[in-house]
Amino acid sequence: MLSSRIVFAVAAVLALGGCSHQAAVTAPIAPIQLRSDAPAILAAIADTRRPEADRARDVHRHPAETLAFARIVPGARVADLLPGGGYFTRLIAVAVGPEGRVYPTIRPEGLANAYETPILAVAAEYSNAVVSRTAYDALAYPEALDVVFTAQNYHDMYLTEYGLGSAAEMNRTAFAALRPGGHYVIIDHAALAGAPLETDAQTALHRIDQARVRREVEAAGFVFDGESEALRNPDDARTINVFDPAIRGRTDQFMMRFRKPG
């Protein structure tokens, strides 16, 4: 069952956003239907602290639909795994509001690299953003979470050169970090169905088979709770490197939500 703060927050958001005619984001299992035009989500996108580079990416990253699908509501506690330059950390910090918290998650001191450390400056701009330094396959937080979120990074767990650890253990510890009824949301670049996970292939493409991700997450005890088509691009052949200028920023991506039973 949802915690009382989340039930109250969702009711408030829905009441404020009920006058819009924009379509709701629906899920087949969980009862909440959070609108992509909810006031907290619109405030997050309009946040003046967001850099122009982030705003330019909105057209392809669909932040409103993503935040709604991920159930990022006022008051929520959210972990943002491998946050990179903080695109989603910024959005989540505003969407959860002053009563919520976002934990941009990077590896412990001495392991974080140039890709991970920029988040420190981003977090300093938001009073409710608390950088968590924890191994990705040993996630640990000071409080139970409502959402564990990761975008375009799950495949990196299989790149031995990155040394990020075990995907299976990341899933297991994400499960442990969530409160009963909490959600685990994964977005990643889609590979061809059944594509193997040999390290050289992943290094070349930075993609992963959606069905494999679902099997691995469900093996950790999660229940599949819905899928969004917001980031799908049928024009992506899913056979070239995601950084190739021909497709960069416009890859075919899956977005799945899983729920911890309880």
Find the CATH number of the domain harbouring 88.
3.40.50.150
Per cent of the chain over pLDDT 90 is 76
Distance CA 26, CA 245 (A): 33
**Could you give the CA distance from residue 4 to residue 121 in angstroms, rounded to a whole number?**
32
Q: Which pTM value belongs to this model?
A: 0.86
Three-state secondary structure call for residue 31:
coil
Spatial CA neighbour of 192 closest among 179, 174, 180, 204: 204
Convert the pLDDT of each residue in 131-159 to its tens digit.
999 999 999 999 999 999 999 999 999 98
Domain span at residue 241 reads 4-259
Helices (H) and strands (E) in the chain, counts: 9, 7
Spatial separation of the C-alpha atoms in residues 122 and 129, rounded to whole Å? 9
How many domains does the chain contain in total?
1
CA distance 260 to 180: 6
Question: Which of 108-112, 204-208, 246-250 tops mean pLDDT?
Answer: 246-250
pLDDT single digits (tens) 187-246: 999 999 988 776 555 556 999 999 999 999 999 999 999 999 999 999 999 999 999 999
